[in-house]
């Protein structure tokens, strides 16, 4: 039987009329190469010991004063096959989240699919994901905010172009196939949620990126990456691509009918644009044509502004961290957020990701070394870190910041969202 709760009256919750300070529980579950041609699941909820410490982790969120929590259910453990689910773990956690009055942004797919689904090349992915998304929404009808598929662009890049995760392919065609399957799955999943929760909101978390060219010979390559970074969001928003990107996806397997399907979508009134920004989100094509991390050449402000102008959606900053001087990075990020809001960008929240240290993210989960990546607000023994102390101070100091940078008191749930007049790439 579904686990039905009395629905919290979020519309009367004063905390949701203020800026949404948030954190997240790292929940990536990709598969990587195992011995003798096998695949091995890397589950960060297991690696960070969240399965055994979830009650304490939720208490830490409350202690921080964070209003919202990005929380990912482990799809591969919950959805055992078509029509088959194991709700034991999520039922316990979701009940506690509700009882603690934490505002959840439920993450449904974070870099991995159940073994029986296969990988992101599977054309049946949209059907299977829609069944799962609809089941989650029906079981927890009080949840309104969801991230359907996290960072689709990054997932397709690492799974089907770099060859690190899941299908471990390395081609433009595999990249486009993964991306179009995830985009369609996300749309079908959102429609399944809307069938039971017509006022649902979707935080579309995506990597906010920029590629720079060291010399004139590599400007065209950098420009290609700077166009390609928008593909996942363009598909979800039903936004026409540039002629260059249209040729790119058509040359690599997207049919005219598939493209037309995305152009017909009109779901943007439910969208909040989630922006994930790290120093490693900026890239440099060097004199040898190699693309590597450049560090924060521009910083968050100008890159966020490019996405804001393109999509004309409410924005939530949904991820950042730094292993190097994280306290300084926290305050730099907050200063950029304040500047964006002062310039009228409807930026509604900030997220330090993640609640605890992570494992093996220094090598992007490509191998299983079990090495702690020290970027959390708490370490893996659940002791607060210096950046955790500073984030707690920041929240306490700025907790009365209005949700809107300008305008009347209002709820994020009621924000209008439209890209009907979105401008072309700046």
Confidence of residue 409 (pLDDT cuts 50, 70, 90): low
* The predicted structure's pLDDT at residue 302: 96
pLDDT tens for 189-206 read: 999 999 999 999 999 999
d(CA 44, CA 200): 27
pLDDT, residue 424, reads 33
**pLDDT band for position 420 (50/70/90)?**
very low
Q: Is pLDDT above 80 for 174?
A: yes
Residue range 94-103: average pLDDT?
A: 96
**Which residues are CB-contacts of 211 (< 8 A; sequence separation ≥ 6)?**
222, 225, 226, 229, 282, 283, 284, 285, 291
User: Residue 38 has what pLDDT?
Assistant: 92
User: What 3-state DSSP class applies to 198?
Assistant: coil
Q: What is the pTM of this model?
A: 0.92
Residues 6+ apart with CB under 8 A from 231: 153, 179, 241, 245, 249
Q: Would you say residue 22 has pLDDT above 60? A: yes
Pairwise CA distance, residues 212 & 138, whole Å: 45
CA distance 155 to 149: 9
Give yes or no for residue 3 having a pLDDT over 70. Answer: no
pLDDT at 16: 58
How far apart are alpha carbons 250 and 333 in whole angstroms? 38
Max mean pLDDT among 13-17, 32-36, 316-320 falls in 316-320
Q: CA-CA distance, 324 to 330, in Å (whole number)?
A: 11
Asked if pLDDT for residue 413 goes beyond 50, the answer is no
Per residue in 108-136, pLDDT (tens digit) is 999 999 999 999 999 999 999 999 999 99
Which of the 8 DSSP states describes residue 160? I
Mean pLDDT of 365-392: 98
**Per-residue pLDDT tens for 60-77?**
999 999 999 999 999 999
Q: What is the mean pLDDT of residues 397-409?
A: 84
Instruction: For residue range 335-365, list pLDDT tens digits in order.
Output: 999 999 999 999 999 999 999 999 999 999 9
């Amino acid at each position: 039987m579904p686990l039905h709760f009395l629905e919290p009256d979020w519309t009367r919750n004063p905390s949701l009329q203020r800026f949404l300070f948030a954190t997240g529980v790292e929940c990536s579950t990709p598969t990587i190469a195992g011995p003798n041609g096998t695949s091995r699941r890397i589950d960060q909820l297991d690696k960070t010991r969240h399965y055994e410490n979830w009650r304490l982790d939720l208490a830490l969120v409350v202690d921080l004063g964070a209003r919202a929590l990005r929380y990912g259910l482990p799809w591969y453990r919950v959805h055992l096959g078509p029509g088959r689910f194991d709700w034991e773990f999520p039922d316990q956690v979701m009940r506690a989240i509700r009882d603690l009055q934490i505002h959840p942004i439920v993450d449904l797919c974070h870099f991995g699919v159940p073994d029986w689904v296969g990988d992101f090349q599977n054309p049946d992915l949209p059907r299977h994901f829609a069944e799962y998304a609809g089941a989650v929404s029906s079981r927890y009808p009080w949840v309104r905010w969801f991230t359907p598929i996290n960072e689709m662009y990054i997932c397709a890049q690492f799974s089907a172009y770099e060859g690190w995760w899941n299908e471990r392919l390395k081609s433009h065609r595999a990249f486009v196939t993964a991306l179009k399957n995830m985009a369609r799955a996300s749309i079908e999943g959102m429609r399944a949620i809307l069938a039971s929760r017509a006022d649902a909101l979707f935080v579309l978390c995506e990597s906010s990126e920029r590629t720079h060219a060291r010399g004139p010979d590599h400007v065209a390559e950098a420009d290609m990456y700077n166009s390609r970074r928008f593909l996942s969001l363009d598909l979800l928003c039903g936004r026409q691509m540039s002629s260059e990107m249209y040729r790119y996806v058509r040359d690599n397997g997207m049919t005219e009918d598939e493209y037309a399907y995305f152009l017909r979508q009109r779901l943007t009134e439910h969208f909040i644009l989630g922006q994930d920004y790290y120093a490693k989100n900026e890239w440099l094509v060097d004199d040898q044509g190699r693309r590597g991390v450049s560090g924060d050449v521009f910083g968050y402000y100008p890159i966020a502004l490019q996405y804001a102008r393109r999509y004309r959606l409410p924005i939530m900053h949904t991820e950042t961290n730094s292993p190097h001087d994280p306290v300084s990075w926290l305050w730099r990020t907050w200063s950029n957020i304040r500047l964006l809001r002062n310039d009228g960008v409807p930026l509604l929240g900030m997220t330090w990701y993640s609640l605890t240290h992570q494992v093996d993210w220094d090598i992007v989960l490509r191998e299983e070394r079990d090495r702690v990546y020290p970027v959390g607000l708490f370490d893996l023994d659940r002791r607060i870190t210096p950046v955790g102390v500073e984030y707690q101070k920041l929240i306490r100091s700025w907790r009365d910041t209005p949700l809107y940078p300008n305008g009347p008191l209002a709820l994020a749930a009621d924000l209008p969202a439209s890209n009907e007049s979105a401008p072309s790439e700046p």
